[in-house]
Structure 1
Amino acid sequence: MTSSECEKNKKKNKLLMWLKNPTKADVINIAWPVLVELLLGSLFGMIDMMMLGRISDNSLAAASVAAVGMTNQPLFIGISLVQALNVGGTAMVARYLGSDQKDKIETTLKHVMLLSLLMLAIPLSILGIIFTDSILNFMGAEADALQAGRGYFKVVMVGFVFQSLNMSMSAALRGIGETKTPMKINLKANFLNVIGNALLIYGLLGFPKLGVTGAGISTALSNIIASVLLFSYVIKGKSIVKLNIKKRFKFDKDIIYNLVKIGLPASLEQMALRIGVLMFVKIVAGLGTVVYASHQIALNILSLSFQPGQAFGIAASSLVGRSLGAHELSKAENYAKETRRIGSMISTFMAIMFFFFGPQLVGLYSKDPEIIKNSSLALKIIALVQPFQSSQLILAGGLRGAGDTFWPLVGTFFGVLLVRVSLAHVFVKILGYGLAGAWIAVFVDQFVRWLFVYARFRTGHWKYTKLR
């Protein structure tokens, strides 16, 4: 055997030993389906934006991209509130699995689904449809973006009701570490969404040419399809997470207590985040439709970079919650550290891609040289954000899995509401740094949030959070 072959065998054996480590294997087994689902979901979202950006009329294309960005921000408030409730669901399901209280998993899922529908999804959807113009005007939409976004917003708010059901069922399945089923179902729905977008945006194969409204219709339909597929899966009873719709439901005060204890700080965190982002978006929107379209493209690409942190954060939530339920405290800490280590490696690779290949990535969305210039500069700053963003997302996922949601709230409050909004106002409005100034504010915000979450994780107090 030659020396080069020996070297190859050594590297192969090292990789196999690394993968055989039980902690790493558990992390990767749960995280990879979530990562694939989120990455491909983001890629499908990027394709949607590319389709709108390539509408033949350049001014209509810019207005459509800007309109989607402005309508997505208030929609994300609703999504974030549902996600906050689901944080409690994931943590509780993981704890009940670890402590072998599997009988409580079904009733937890029912509570989460009903509360998210009755308290959040349906009321917010109705308000969004009634006050569409007021919401878009508040977001700073100019006349062209308002005209383009009105129909889109109304349609996606209908789809939001089904999206909330989809999210609740996926969260429960992830709590037990079953991440492949949500991945397969959501990828099918996203693939159909892309096909629907092509048909309805451009009017292909005899379908009506509906532009940005067609994109909204396709998105709503894909949410309905995903909900139906997930619901049919859990009522079949093949998983630990199951629903028996014939079984009488009654509210359980202990489950409500746990959901409030975990979900309330998470909800307040998401509210602080979304209010801060809304204020931030209004500052950027004041720079005009073309600059805002550049900003939206940068955000769309940034959403891709969130995915490793979110995927490994979900893995951390499930594994930490399960370990604490089984009273294995050191194992919970090891899982959190390992998820952070692997997720950060992936995020670093993405940062390099954003820094060196920004113009090529932005060129997939738009041919406008001004948009390419602005968005590429934002991507260089985004690359610097990556290490702090990834670490913060993953460690916060571990804290949430433990049911310790207060300190992520504090970090978000200071980072987004105080630091990001204040600095964006100074850099954009006072110093005139434009889009670059806005993204520098994002960088400082992520660093501040990382400091709070990392400091809390180091104390180890999160390992002793009690649930009923």
Structure 2
Amino acid sequence: MLDLIKKRINFTRNINDPITKDVVNIAWPVLLESLLGSLFSMVDMIMLGRISNNFVAAASVAAVGITNQPLFIGLAIVQALNIGGTAMVARYIGRKEEGKVETTVKHIVLINLSFLVVPLFILAQIYAVDIMRFMGAEPETINIGIWYFRIIMFGFLFQGVNNSLFAVLRGAGDTKTPMKINIKVNALNVVGNALLIYGFFGLPALGVTGAAISTCFSQIVATFMIGNLFLRGKTGIRIDFKKKFKYDKEIVKNFIRIGVPSSIEMLILRVGIMLFTKTVATLGTVIYAAHQICLNILSLSFTTGQSFSIAAASLTGRTLGEGDPSRAEAYVSKARQIGSILATLIGVVFFLFAPQVLGLYTKDQVIIKSGAEALKIVAIMQPFQSSAFIIVGSLRGAGDTTFPMLSTGIGILGIRVILAYTFINIFNMGLMGAWIAVFLDQVFRWAMVYWRFKTGKWKHIKIK
């Protein structure tokens, strides 16, 4: 693994070339934003895991893990649909058609709110207990987590708007504005969690419910911040509500053609993860808590792949709009190179210091032992995961979203869910079996999207 790092480290010699500069300029704010966001999320989980009552602490961690899965389904669908907006904005800017951008923003926000965000919020409020029970939550987990679920789904209303506006900015190559806002509100959320989970300064100690209140409030603040910037034109994209809204058939067609396959992909992914989570939950609250902590740590490793994926999407869309597919391919190659180096370094840390990383979350030795074994598998799959993220980002930026949907569907349902069930229930491999299934899924999807990228078909997709 060290030899791999040495071979790839030579990219630093060419750090001043234009391709590297463009990739890094877009990726680093997303990387910093994602890294700090994941660290803040880790701090949140650590706070819950260190509640003085061990039983309440384990149930709280499990409750967050179980209730976050339905939330993540909603967020994933919204974010995936927004991929259409990112691709369109990038392509319009590349073609010097900035006049279409404001109309695209309005369409994205209205479609997301009307057809996804509000309906999912209503369903979650009505069927909260049933959803948690379906997810495999034990009675104590439901009792502790029910209000957490209901409150964070209220915050989902604002989060949906935020994600739509951030996607537009990233399509335009502006990743610094989302970074600044998300860092501020995540820091606010951590402070709010500390106050409301433990009841500092005379405030009530609300435990996991306090964490939900803090998260919801931070999302509301973020909406006011980003909305104010758009209304004042401070982002370079001004939204003028005095202008009469005009339905644009071509924008909606593009949005549906690009965004809907990605939304279906994310729906499949999240349903698959939900079924996977339900299978792991049968191992019991303590083992599931170890699993949830590993998922939380895994989200930290997503940061490199996701940041360079966004850079690849934005730059691919823009250069295809400029009519330069060879430059788009060069951008993707550079993004994969840098992303793989960073992912490998993260993998080394996870592999060598797994027990120490788990020890930040809990003192329970059963959780640490089970989680450390799983975390070593996470370490090994880092290069595959990062490369797949970045390739998929480039395909989405080009408007090629159907093939990633197919590869995800086969990988998550045909490999991860089935193998996890088999390894846990037939071969009695416990948590280790579940994470082996995750590894095999990741490698399969990487191979599929890499093959698609090498065919070059993404270079010829048209956006009107």
> Is TM (by shorter chain) over 0.5?
yes
2:133 to 134, 137, 156: 137
- In the alignment, structure 1 residue 462 sits paired with structure 2 residue 419: no
Q: CA deviation at 1:45?
A: 0.3
* Equivalent position of 1:443 in the other structure: 439
Q: Counterparts of 2:268 and 2:451 in 1: how far apart (Å)?
A: 20
* Equivalent position of 2:113 in the other structure: 117
CA contact (8 A) 1:70 1:139 kept: yes
Coordinate RMSD, CA, aligned = 0.9
Q: CA deviation at 1:17?
A: 5.1
Q: Counterparts of 1:362 and 1:242 in 2: how far apart (Å)?
A: 45
Alignment of 1:63-82 (within 5 A): 63-82=59-78
Q: Counterparts of 1:276 and 1:225 in 2: how far apart (Å)?
A: 32
* Equivalent position of 2:3 in the other structure: none
Q: Counterparts of 1:95 and 1:239 in 2: how far apart (Å)?
A: 18
* Equivalent position of 2:4 in the other structure: none
- In the alignment, structure 1 residue 88 sits paired with structure 2 residue 84: yes
* Equivalent position of 2:41 in the other structure: 45
* Equivalent position of 1:128 in the other structure: 124
Question: Secondary structure of the residue that 1:178 maps to in structure 2?
Answer: coil
Q: Counterparts of 1:225 and 1:109 in 2: how far apart (Å)?
A: 20
CA contact (8 A) 1:102 1:240 kept: no
Report Cα offsets for 1:145-173 as digits up to 9, x if no partner.
Answer: 11111000000000001001111111111
* Equivalent position of 1:280 in the other structure: 276
Report Cα offsets for 1:409-454 as digits up to 9, x if no partner.
Answer: 1110110011001100110010000000000000000011111100
Do the aligned partners of residues 16 and 433 (structure 1) sit closer, same or farther apart at CA in structure 2, a change above 3 Å counting?
closer
Aligned residues: 455
Q: Counterparts of 1:152 and 1:178 in 2: how far apart (Å)?
A: 33
Q: Counterparts of 2:49 and 2:355 in 1: how far apart (Å)?
A: 15
* Equivalent position of 1:8 in the other structure: none
* Equivalent position of 1:98 in the other structure: 94
Q: Amino acid of the residue matched to residue 49 of structure 2? A: G
- In the alignment, structure 1 residue 432 sits paired with structure 2 residue 431: no
Q: Amino acid of the residue matched to residue 435 of structure 1? A: L
Q: CA deviation at 1:259?
A: 0.5
- In the alignment, structure 1 residue 342 sits paired with structure 2 residue 338: yes
- In the alignment, structure 1 residue 403 sits paired with structure 2 residue 399: yes
2:54 to 52, 58, 72: 58
Alignment of 1:199-214 (within 5 A): 199-214=195-210
Q: Counterparts of 1:296 and 1:17 in 2: how far apart (Å)?
A: 40
CA contact (8 A) 2:177 2:235 kept: no
Q: Counterparts of 1:116 and 1:242 in 2: how far apart (Å)?
A: 19
* Identity rate, percent: 56
Most deviating of 210-219 and 235-244: 235-244
- In the alignment, structure 1 residue 323 sits paired with structure 2 residue 316: no
* Equivalent position of 1:218 in the other structure: 214
Q: Counterparts of 1:231 and 1:188 in 2: how far apart (Å)?
A: 15
Q: Counterparts of 2:13 and 2:281 in 1: how far apart (Å)?
A: 51
Q: Counterparts of 1:268 and 1:120 in 2: how far apart (Å)?
A: 13
Do the aligned partners of residues 16 and 293 (structure 1) sit closer, same or farther apart at CA in structure 2, a change above 3 Å counting?
closer
- In the alignment, structure 1 residue 364 sits paired with structure 2 residue 366: no
Q: Amino acid of the residue matched to residue 446 of structure 1? A: Q
CA contact (8 A) 2:319 2:328 kept: yes
Question: Secondary structure of the residue that 1:20 maps to in structure 2?
Answer: coil
Q: CA deviation at 1:15?
A: 7.8
* Equivalent position of 1:7 in the other structure: none
Q: Amino acid of the residue matched to residue 405 of structure 2? A: L
Q: CA deviation at 1:351?
A: 0.3
Question: Secondary structure of the residue that 2:158 maps to in structure 1?
Answer: helix
Q: Counterparts of 2:264 and 2:159 in 1: how far apart (Å)?
A: 21
* Equivalent position of 2:227 in the other structure: 231
Report Cα offsets for 1:15-66 as digits up to 9, x if no partner.
Answer: 8752211000000000000000001000000000000000000000000000
- In the alignment, structure 1 residue 154 sits paired with structure 2 residue 150: yes
Q: Counterparts of 1:137 and 1:234 in 2: how far apart (Å)?
A: 41
Question: Secondary structure of the residue that 1:287 maps to in structure 2?
Answer: coil
Q: Amino acid of the residue matched to residue 93 of structure 2? A: L
Q: Counterparts of 1:157 and 1:267 in 2: how far apart (Å)?
A: 19
Q: Amino acid of the residue matched to residue 231 of structure 1? A: G
Q: CA deviation at 1:237?
A: 1.1
Q: CA deviation at 1:144?
A: 1.1
CA contact (8 A) 1:410 1:452 kept: no
CA contact (8 A) 2:286 2:367 kept: yes
Q: Amino acid of the residue matched to residue 99 of structure 2? A: D
Most deviating of 399-408 and 236-245: 236-245
TM-score (normalised: structure 1)? 0.96
Q: Amino acid of the residue matched to residue 346 of structure 1? A: L
Q: Counterparts of 1:203 and 1:130 in 2: how far apart (Å)?
A: 29
Q: Counterparts of 2:407 and 2:126 in 1: how far apart (Å)?
A: 34
Most deviating of 284-293 and 202-211: 202-211
TM-score (normalised: structure 2)? 0.97
Q: Counterparts of 1:244 and 1:182 in 2: how far apart (Å)?
A: 20
* Equivalent position of 1:190 in the other structure: 186
Question: Secondary structure of the residue that 2:15 maps to in structure 1?
Answer: helix
Q: Counterparts of 2:17 and 2:26 in 1: how far apart (Å)?
A: 14
Question: Secondary structure of the residue that 1:300 maps to in structure 2?
Answer: helix
Q: Counterparts of 2:315 and 2:214 in 1: how far apart (Å)?
A: 35
Q: CA deviation at 1:247?
A: 1.3
CA contact (8 A) 1:272 1:412 kept: yes
CA contact (8 A) 1:319 1:332 kept: yes
Question: Secondary structure of the residue that 2:381 maps to in structure 1?
Answer: helix
CA contact (8 A) 2:11 2:338 kept: no
Q: Which runs of no fewer than 5 residues in structure 2 stay unpaired?
A: 1-9
Q: CA deviation at 1:241?
A: 2.1
Report Cα offsets for 1:165-219 as digits up to 9, x if no partner.
Answer: 1111111111111111110011000000000000000011111111000000000
Q: Counterparts of 2:183 and 2:329 in 1: how far apart (Å)?
A: 32
Q: CA deviation at 1:238?
A: 2.7
Alignment of 1:244-259 (within 5 A): 244-259=240-255
Question: Secondary structure of the residue that 2:287 maps to in structure 1?
Answer: helix
Q: Counterparts of 1:130 and 1:427 in 2: how far apart (Å)?
A: 35
CA contact (8 A) 1:106 1:241 kept: yes
Report Cα offsets for 1:369-416 as digits up to 9, x if no partner.
Answer: 000001111100101111111110000000000000011111101100
Q: Counterparts of 2:413 and 2:241 in 1: how far apart (Å)?
A: 42
